[in-house]
Chains A and B, each alone.
Chain A
Amino acid sequence: MTMTTTTRALFSRRWFIDLLLILCAFSAPWWLTLLVASLFFFVFDRFWELLLLSLLIDLLYGTSRAYFFNVTFVLSFCAVPLYIFLTLIRHRMRF
């Protein structure tokens, strides 16, 4: 079954994807949200929403971690190397 033109147009809109990802952060496991955001990294240019989503997850559920120097934003700090890594991969891909 193929996607309808309207659905395809909707999924190509960045704001719509952002909205879906925010809802995903509210109601899906954190790893699923970051996985989906990482996939969209290859669809849209400079998908900085990945960083903002990790910050949102930290704001919602974050707590200071004794083994991480009592830092609350562990996921946000981990999202930074992920962002750089995905950017490097994207630059080496052609599609």
Chain B
Amino acid sequence: MNYHLIRSVKSKSKLWAVGLPALFLVVATFFHFVPPFTLGGFATGVALPFWRAERSVGEELRAFFAYFSSRNALQAKVEKLSEELTSANELLLDRNLLIQENEALKEQFGRTTTKSERIIGAILVAPPRSPYDTAILDVGAQNGVAVGDRVLAGSAILGLVSKVYAHTSQVEFFSTAGRKTPIGILHEGRAIPADAVGQGGGEFIATLPKETEVSVKDSVSMPGFSPLLFAEVESIETTATDSFAHVRFKNPVPLFSLRFLEVEKTLAGE
């Protein structure tokens, strides 16, 4: 005699195991083709108070623990920083002169200098918290930030604004894994063109013919009429049998220690 089961437990659990992920895949694909800015904006809006609270608590804690630093350690730190500041000031002595000379030369060649405005944004979320080498800034469309604006830390260019919401914006660093950026490696007055491939965490790799003359500590800049500092060569790897040299370089400022970034808005074309 055959007994029919009232309900098939096995088939129901299989349906959950396969049906739910399949449905989820359909939803995710739908969101991929329909730009998810509305939903992303909503999610960011919900997260914003937590990020702001977290940042302010972090600042307070930092100030609190600084209170317990030993006097000798603080004095040593002040002395070290003073020395660094003096040497940095010495290096910057001719900077203004060089900028003026650069602008005069550009004018002679009929190129006007680019006027830009910088908006300072506090970093709410930075790598490695995000899985994609992106950062969230506390400035958005209401502050005049737009998609494609350049993001800098001092004179170093780090990335571009990839998403903008009302009060926040997302920065995609050039070091995002797999991202290719055209760069120039400055060696003895020549700019060697190459493609920097992002490795994540502010690191890049570029592949050049073995014979190309590149040295460690060479500056890497973005191509353009007003080149910006991109990175500094860290190491060059090659083998006797390899036809290519793999040049590794890093952002001049570590991404993990940044607290603020500047968003540059171009006001007049080059």
Contact = CB atoms under 8 A, between A and B. Distances in A.
Interface string B3-46: 00000000001001110110011011001100010011001100
B31 A80 contact: no
A75 B16 CA distance: 20
Interface string A28-54: 111100000000000000101001000
B129 to A, nearest CB: 5
Indicate the member of B36, B132, B172 with the most A CB atoms within 10 Å. B132
B20 A83 contact: yes
B209 interface: no
Contacts of B28: 55, 58, 73, 76-77
Contact of B136 (A61, A74, A76): A61
A60 B130 contact: yes
B122 interface: no
A63 B25 contact: no
B125 to A, nearest CB: 7
B36 to A, nearest CB: 6
A1 interface: no
Number of chain B interface residues as a range: 35 or more
B24 A61 contact: no
Chain A interface size range: 35 or more
A56 interface: yes
B131 A57 contact: yes
Interface in A44-95: 46, 48, 51, 55-63, 65-68, 71-77, 79-80, 83-84, 87-88, 91
B244 interface: no
Contacts of A57: 130-131
B176 A63 contact: yes
Contacts of A29: 128-129
18 contacts: A26-B51, A30-B129, A46-B16, A55-B31, A56-B43, A59-B43, A60-B44, A61-B134, A61-B136, A62-B132, A62-B134, A67-B177, A68-B178, A73-B28, A73-B32, A87-B17, A91-B13, A91-B17
* Chain A to chain B: the 9 pairs with minimum beta-carbon distance, closest first: A61-B130, A67-B178, A87-B17, A30-B131, A80-B21, A59-B43, A76-B28, A73-B28, A59-B40
Interface of A: 23, 26-31, 46, 48, 51, 55-63, 65-68, 71-77, 79-80, 83-84, 87-88, 91
